[in-house]
Amino acid sequence: MTDLTALNAITTVPVKLGDRSYDILIGAGLIDQAGREIAKRAKSVRVAIVTDETVAGLHLDRLMRSLSAAGIDSTAILVAPGEKSKGFATLETVTNAILAARLERGDIVVAFGGGVIGDLAGFAAGIARRGMGFIQMPTSLLAQVDSSVGGKTGINTAHGKNLVGVFYQPQLVLADTDVLDTLSPREFRAGYAEVAKYGLIDRPDFFTWLEKNWRGIFDGGPERTEAIAISCRSKADVVARDERETGDRALLNLGHTFGHALETATNYDSARLVHGEGVSIGMVLAHQFSAKMNLASPDDARRVEAHLRGVGLPVSIAGIPGDLPPAEKLMDYIAQDKKVARGALTFILTRGIGQSFIAKDVPPSAVLSFLQEKHPK
C-alpha cells in the first residue's frame, strides 16, 4: 500500500526530442525509488554518482542504498560545493574518475546535486568515452525547474559563464521534491527566480498564480510539485521546439544577459550573488529596459519587481553587496556573452508580463546608457 501511494504521487513530464526523448519524474521521496526507476529502464548497468560534499552528507547514503537494493553497483565522485567547481580543472578530475571507475559506454553517470553538479557531470558524461549514459537527479529548486532539463551542460572560463560545454540530453530526470526542504532559504529563493521566469516568458496566468500561491511553494505544500511540473513542462516545450538554441530557446535567457554580467562582475562569489539572484535582478532590469524602450508599460516592470522583492529576492544592482565595476565594464561583459551576434546585441525583451520576445538589434549605446542610469558611479 505504501508503495502504491508513493507511485501515485509521481508526476511525469515527457520531453519530446525524437530518439533522445526522456521523462522527468517529479515527486516526494523519489530518491528511495531511484534504483527501481533506473533498473526499469537500463539493464545491468553500473553507476557513477557525481555529487558535492554538501549533498553527499545529506542524501548520498539513501541514494546508494536505493541503487543497491535494485542490484545496481555504484561509486561516488565528490567535488567541492559551489560555482568554482564548474571549470576545466574539476571537469578533468571528474572525467578521469569516471574512467578510473572503469565504467563502460552504456553505464550511467548520475548528476546528484544542484545546477553546478548537473552542468559539470553532464559535460563529463558527454565527453567520457565520447558519451556515456546520463541521468539527472537535481537537488536544488533551480536545477529541478531549469538546468536539469534540456541537455545544456558546461563550465565557466575567464571569458564568461557556460561558454564551454556540449548539448547532451539525460535519459531520465528524477526530481525529489522533499530534498528541497534541506536548502537554505536563500538558495530556495534563488531557484524560485527561474520558476517566476516561465510566467514572465509566456505564461501570464502562471505568474498571476505565483503572486497568489508562492507561499505554498516555499512551505512545501501541494503548490510546490505543481509549480515544478509547470516549470518543467514550459522548459520542455521550448526545448522540443529548438533543442540547440537556433531560435526560440533563447527566450529562456530572459534576465540572463544582465544576470551573467553581474555574476562575472562579482567573480562568481556566491557570498555576494548566486545565479538565481542574478537572474532576478536581470529580469527586473529586462522589464525596466523594455519600459524605457517604450516596449512595455512601467507598471509591468513594477509588478515584477514587487513580486520578486516580496519573496525576498534582490531586484537591483544596488542590492548586490560590495563594490562593482562601472557600467562600461558591465557592458564589456555583456558583449562577450554568447548571445552576441556580429556586433548587434541580442536581448530578451518584453511587451509586458508573459510577453517576452527575442530582440536582435538592440543598440549597445541604449543598453550602456540604461546601465549608467541604474548603476551610476
- For 258-268, b/e burial (b = at least 16 CB within 10 A) is bbbbbbbbbeb
- Give me the least distance between CB of 82 and its own copies, in Å please: 20
Is 247 assigned a ligand-binding role in the annotation?
A: no
Q: Do the Cβ atoms of 355 and 202 come closer than 8 Å?
A: yes
For the window 109-138, what string marks contact with its own copies as x by the rule CB under 8 A?
--------------x--xxxxxx-------
- Give me the least distance between CB of 20 and its own copies, in Å please: 12
**Active-site residue identified among 235, 287, 307, 374:** 235
Is 194 assigned a ligand-binding role in the annotation?
A: yes
Q: Is the Cβ of residue 31 or residue 250 nearer to its own copies in the bound state? A: 250
Tell me if residue 255 falls in helix, strand or coil: coil
Which of 16, 40, 159, 215 touches its own copies (CB under 8 A)?
Answer: 159
Q: Based on the shown chain and the rule CB under 8 A, indicate whether residue 344 belongs to the binding site for its own copies.
A: no
**How many residues lie near its own copies (CB under 8 A)?**
35
Q: Candidates 32-40, 64-72, 100-108, 250-258 — which segment interacts with its own copies by CB under 8 A?
A: 100-108
The count of other CB atoms within 10 Å of the CB of residue 40 is 11
Tell me which long-range contacts 211-215 makes (C-beta under 8 A, separation of at least 24).
211/307, 214/307, 214/310, 214/311
Q: Which helix (H) or strand (E) holds 87?
A: none
The count of other CB atoms within 10 Å of the CB of residue 123 is 24
Q: Based on the shown chain and the rule CB under 8 A, indicate whether residue 341 belongs to the binding site for its own copies.
A: yes
Which of 70, 163, 240, 293 touches its own copies (CB under 8 A)?
Answer: 163
- Give me the least distance between CB of 151 and its own copies, in Å please: 10
Is 152 assigned a ligand-binding role in the annotation?
A: yes
- C-alpha cell at position 311: 519573496
CA distance 266 to 273: 7
Parallel/antiparallel/unpaired status of strands 133-138 and 108-113: parallel
CA distance 321 to 318: 8
Where do contacts with its own copies occur on this chain (CB under 8 A)? 44, 88, 91-92, 95-96, 99-100, 102, 104-105, 123, 126-131, 152, 154, 157-160, 163-167, 244, 336, 338, 340-342
Q: Which residues are catalytic?
A: 130, 152, 194, 235, 245, 249, 253, 256, 260, 275
Binding residues for Zn(2+): 194, 256, 275
